[in-house]
Amino acid sequence: MPLQKAPRGTVMRDVAKLAGVSHQTVSRVLNEHPNVRPETRLRVLEAMRSLNYRRNLAARTLVTRRSNTLGIIGFETTLFGPASMLYGIESAAREAGYLVSIATVRNLERADVLSAVDRLAQHAVDGIIAIAPKTAVTSALMQAPTDLFCVAVGGAGDSESVPTVRMDNAEGACLATQHLLDLGHATVHHAAGPGDWPEAHERTEGWRRTLYAAGAVVPPVHPQWWDAASGYEQGRAMAADPAVTAIFCANDRIALGVLRALHEAGRKVPEEVSVVGFDDMPDSGFFLPPLTTVSQNFGELGRRSLALLLEHMNRPSDAETVDHVIVPPTLVHRASTAPPPPPR
């Protein structure tokens, strides 16, 4: 591949010459060093502007060993949740003066994650945030070069020694389940997410524990994937069972599939069956009927994770604490839940 060589632009030396100072003074102006006479400063700034000077960050990175770039390891970033976290991180990073580079992984195999870390490390990122719902990722992260700061966002709670920002999935599941129990439902069925994803697992566990604490029967689960098709499959089985009056879904997309299955079976929501989702996607309020759901603030999650990363980067290296920030979920009440129908 014959690549063209970009032409050389204006550099510090050029600015220095025009302003009648040394290159070092230009550097000082650029880095806001205090000891520069205001008058000199202005002259330099003027020269920079007239030459349209732009500092070469590669050279700067070479000597400072800091690139002002952060790496993000993403998975399934087309989904609303990950995409929102990405956005939250990027916004916060920009305000902190960082650019973010993204490395998505196809699957969550250890090798894939390691190669993503490697790619980011080669490009000299200062830190890595992994949008990393499976534990393979966090454990791979620990193999990262020791001079690289990492945090994980949105995965499970049991992550070993990588700082983590995450939602309290179990608590969210509890909120949803308890809400349905409080309405008078004898028990709550569960349309689960993929069992090997910690987030799905935690939601299932939160649901199970809540039922158990209430002395309710714990129905079996048949987890599949995160999408509406999976919800439709699970929902069909539940719709066929007249004992089912309340369903807690692992996310809103699954809930959409469940709603469709119930509709096809002729079971009215919420009159006959109540449904609760998880995520509060932007359009969940426009499902038929509008979905009661557990709200996750993905943007906040992203922002928090960046804050945690920066905090770690600026902390003296002997402080070996591992933080885990947990963001609480809230329940959004809409029209898809109601008391159970009277027994006939």
Partner DNA sequence: ATCTCAATTGTGAACGCTAACAGCCCCCAG
Partner DNA sequence: CTGGGGGCTGTTAGCGTTCACAATTGAGAT
Identity of the amino acid at 188: V
Give the span between the Cα atoms of 121 and 57, in whole angstroms. 17
CB atoms within 10 A of CB 275: 29
Complete DSSP assignment for 17-50: HHHTS-HHHHHHHHTT-S-S-HHHHHHHHHHHHH
Q: Which of residues 167-196 bind a copy of itself (CB under 8 A)?
A: none
Q: Does 1 bind DNA (CB under 7 A)?
A: no
Residue 122 interacts with a copy of itself (CB under 8 A)?
A: yes
The nearest distance, CB 331 to DNA, in angstroms, is 50
Residue 157 engages a copy of itself in binding (rule: CB under 8 A): no
Binding partner of residue 204 among a copy of itself, DNA, none, CB under 5 to 8 Å per kind?
Answer: none
| Piece of the chain touching a copy of itself by CB under 8 A; list 162-170, 203-211, 241-249, 313-321 | 313-321
**8 scored as a contact of a copy of itself (CB under 8 A):** yes
* One of 109, 227, 233, 300 touching a copy of itself (CB under 8 A): 227
CB under 5 to 8 A by kind: which of a copy of itself, DNA, none does 297 bind?
A: none
Tell which one of 33, 94, 110, 333 touches a copy of itself (CB under 8 A): 94
Restricting to residues 14-33, name those near DNA by CB under 7 A.
20-25, 27-28, 30-31
| Size of residue set near DNA by CB under 7 A | 28
* Cis ω for the linkage preceding 270 (within 30 of 0): yes
For 40, 147, 188, 256, 340, the CA distances from 218, given in Å and listed in that order, are 75, 47, 8, 23, 17
Burial letters for 12-27: b for 16+ Cβ neighbours within 10 Å, e otherwise?
A: bebbbebbebeeebbb
**Residues facing 327 on adjacent strands:** 167
Catalog residues that contact DNA under the rule CB under 7 A.
8-9, 11-13, 20-25, 27-28, 30-31, 34-37, 39-40, 55-56, 59-60, 62-64
